[in-house]
Structure formats: C-alpha cells, structure tokens
Homo-oligomer: A and B are copies of this chain.
C-alpha cells in the first residue's frame, strides 16, 4: 500500500517515543513500563509496520486503560519455573511489558542453559512480535516470539473465525548483513489489507479470504463483514490447511499450554471490557551453545549471499532476506522522521493538549 505523503506528518522518533510514554504515564503506567510500550510502538512505525505503530496507542491501549479494562500497574510474575522454562502471568497488563519481561528472563536462562523458554498468560496485545525476538540479537542469541490473538481467520473447511492472525517471529544475528528477522502473521494477509481494499473498492485475490458461507471471494467487503481471512496458503487446494495447522500450533503453545485463552476465547482489544486473555510464547537460544559466534556469522554471511545472488525470476529485480525491507525503512525513518497519519496526529494532539504535554514539531519537508 502506497502512503500518500499529504496524509502524513513526519515526527522524529525520539520525540514520538517521549510523548507516547508521557501519555501512558498519565494513565498510571509506571515510567519504565511506559518506556517499553512506546519503544515497541515507535519501533513498529520505524520499521514501516504502521498497522502496529503509534496509531494503536489510543484504540488498543490508552482507551482500555481509561476505561479500566486493563491493569496499568501490572507486575508480571512467574507462576512456574523449571530448569530452562517458566510460565508467567501478565496480570491483564500491557502485553509489551509482560513479553519484554519474559524475553529478558529467557535471555538469562539461555546464558545458563543454552536456551530459555517461557509462556505468558493473561496478557494483552503486545505490538509487533519482532520486537521481542530482536531483543535476543544483541546478546548473540536467536530470539523466537509467537502469540495468539483475537479470531479473524477460518480453520480450513469452517466458516467461523476461530484463529487469530497468530504471529510467528524469529530473529537471527548475522555477520556483515543485517540480521534475519522474520515477523509474519500466519494468515495470508492481515485484516487491515482487506479493510483498505474495501474502502478503495478494489478486488482482492480469492486466496485471501472467504465470505460468510466460507466460500473464497474477491470481494473484500464480504470478507470483512461476516467472512474471514484464510490461513497462510489460502483455501484447501493451495494448502491452506498448513497455515491452519501452524496457526493452531501457535495457539496451543501460546494459549492452551500457558493457561491463557485460546480460539474464540481471545477477545478483541478494541471493544471487549473483559480481559482479552492473550497468550504469548517466547524463547532465546544461545548461538555459542551450538557453534562459535564467529563461525556462525561467517556461515550466515554465506547463507544470505547465496540467496541475494541467486538468479532472478522474470520481471523481478531483487531477492529479499526476511527483515531487509524493514531495516531499510528503519534507516530512512530515523533520518527523515516517522510518518504519522494525520488522523493519528490529530488524536495525539488532542490527547497531549488534554494532559498539557508539549507536542514535538513535525519535521519540515525537504523536497
């Protein structure tokens, strides 16, 4: 989706993080926690994942805090700890806070045992899964993060939304190149892509979703209203049952095994007064438990080089490595400022004004 420049203001990342954190503090979130949440949200925008960025600060988080649906003072605690594994209770607080704490714990365990692995129950939406998997990188570790989420996708042969877009993320340190960072929903597309196509009145590939009777359709309105997303792979004949299986496995680990909610039990952050019951599952894996870091980096260089220099398909001009586009976007947005949609900017302006928080000046355009 192309962003139209006129719809956006650009804001320096540090200033955007600062006001997001200050706003969260106004709703009784402790400063150290507010800092984590704002860092996760603005990192999403920096990486070009606008759907999970600062635009969600109000509808997903502040609105829930305001209404008392979510606990601002959560202090995620470990309910079970055995060897290299643990289970954690997110206390219906901000998902970012719980998942950040869990990943820190995994990293500590991985130093001791080669791997650390933890489940988090009773949590909420946590932004981009890639943020947490990437926490492992600076420790010379591989990070993995998965989560369940509110149901939007259809199990193969069903017409009921039972699966979330249940993300899978893995981050692997590399040598010369940027790290390999896969951060993907296990549906073909996110619901946002359907929503945008509906608004614009354009058709979508019939592999993206089904109507309310579970039939593949090119009409985004029918997918959006009463239908649902196909899991990765699309319908049955193009192996959508594999995406269904992956998504179900993520729900089992994040929801069933952690003691959190699962399937239709995971509630919608925008509308539900009840705790959403989101569950996450994270791991950190020490590279040096398997191989010396210098050798591993050299091998990752070779791996990436072999992919990048492979012969191109007709009409294509580049082979990408997972995360590569997002790192380029990050660099550009660090330089030019983070694009914030004018509607989101107006929302932030109103909130800041209400709380006497000074808004940063947007960057001036440099054509």
Contact = CB atoms under 8 A, between A and B. Distances in A.
A323 B286 CA distance: 32
Interface stretch (A67-75, A237-245, A347-355): A237-245
Interface in A146-192: 154-160, 162, 168, 170, 172, 180, 182, 184, 186, 188-189
Interface residues of A, number: 89
A242 B83 contact: no
Contacts of A186: 242
Interface in A181-224: 182, 184, 186, 188-189, 205, 207-208, 210, 213-215
A42 B318 CA distance: 44
Given A252-B180, A303-B256, A238 B310 contact: no
B241 A232 contact: no
A203 to B, nearest CB: 12
A183 to B, nearest CB: 9
A291 interface: yes
A317 B244 CA distance: 17
B157 A312 contact: yes
Interface stretch (A25-33, A44-52, A258-266): A258-266
A363 to B, nearest CB: 31
Contact of A180 (B242, B249, B317, B322): B249
B241 A157 contact: no
Nearest to A243: B232
A320 B83 contact: no
B115 A84 contact: yes
A249 B169 CA distance: 10
A248 interface: yes
Contact of A313 (B213, B259, B307): B213
A271 interface: no
Contact of A85 (B182, B290, B320): B290
26 contacts: A80-B291, A83-B84, A83-B115, A84-B114, A85-B285, A85-B286, A114-B117, A115-B115, A117-B285, A142-B253, A142-B257, A155-B307, A157-B312, A158-B313, A159-B313, A182-B248, A184-B242, A188-B239, A189-B239, A214-B313, A232-B239, A232-B242, A248-B322, A255-B303, A259-B291, A262-B303
Given A157-B318, A158-B310, A215-B315, 9 more contacts: A82-B114, A82-B286, A83-B115, A84-B113, A84-B114, A85-B113, A162-B306, A168-B246, A232-B232
